[in-house]
Amino acid sequence: MTVVATLCQRGNRSLPLSPLAQSYATRQGRATMSAATTHELPVLRRAAGASTDGLLLASAMILSSGAALALVVVLRLASGPVPVSYALWVAVSGAVGAWAGLSAAWRDFGWPGARGFVRALKGGVVFSFIAAITAGSMILPVFGTMFAPFAVLVTLLAKPAAAVGLVATLAITDRLVGRWRALA
């Protein structure tokens, strides 16, 4: 073990770290990163006992919401009943699209204050657009890519319950990611 690592473990705060690394290292009065490994690029590490339940629950809610919304959109556009295998494919595609949307927009969720609210709105729009394009591409490769965002928008306007469900899911996701960020 090096001397720098030993000093870090003992809590010596006089190490020659950059201000950013020092602020990460002493966040909430305990070490939250391995500041001894690098002075330029701090590597965040979860504090001992910090839970990732909020992030996992947010991901599960987003995936199930994406699958349900994709089914609502396709069943609304279908002229009759759809085969079970196609409905399963639509649900899986919706979940994958939701995962892609969350991957693109998760950095905008979970911030406090008015700026956090604006960021969450922006994240919701980015999430919806990316999720619709991805799911539409999987369901119907060329036309789904082009028309899925419009089909989702029309469905949300025509079915207020679907819009309320999506907004509620995004709001709960924002709160859960905020809780996860607070524990980091």
DSSP designation for 47 = P
Mean pLDDT (whole number) for 162-179: 92
Say yes or no: 33 and 77 in one domain. no
- Whether residue 11 sits in one domain with residue 91: no
19 and 72 in one domain?
no
**Is 33 in the same domain as 115?**
no
Are residues 13 and 45 both part of a single domain?
yes
Q: Residues 73, 127: one domain? A: yes
Between residues 63 and 20, the one the model is more confident about: 63
> Distance (Å, rounded) from C-alpha 137 to C-alpha 143?
8
Residues 23 and 66 in one domain: no
Segment 89-139, tens digit of pLDDT: 999 999 999 999 999 998 999 899 999 999 999 999 999 999 999 999 999
Q: What phi and psi values does residue 12 have, to the nearest 5 degrees?
A: -70, 120
**What is the rounded CA–CA span in Å between residue 51 and residue 172?**
17
Q: For residues 99 and 176, state if they share a domain.
A: yes
Whether the Cβ atoms of residue 123 and residue 106 lie closer than 8 Å to each other: yes
* Domain extent for 38: 1-50
How many structural domains compose the chain? 2
Instruction: Compute the distance between CA of residue 12 and CA of residue 6 in angstroms, rounded to an integer.
Output: 9
Euclidean distance between CA atoms 166 and 118, whole angstroms: 17
Provide φ and ψ at 33, rounded to 5°: -150, 165
Q: How far apart are CA 153 and CA 159, in angstroms?
A: 10
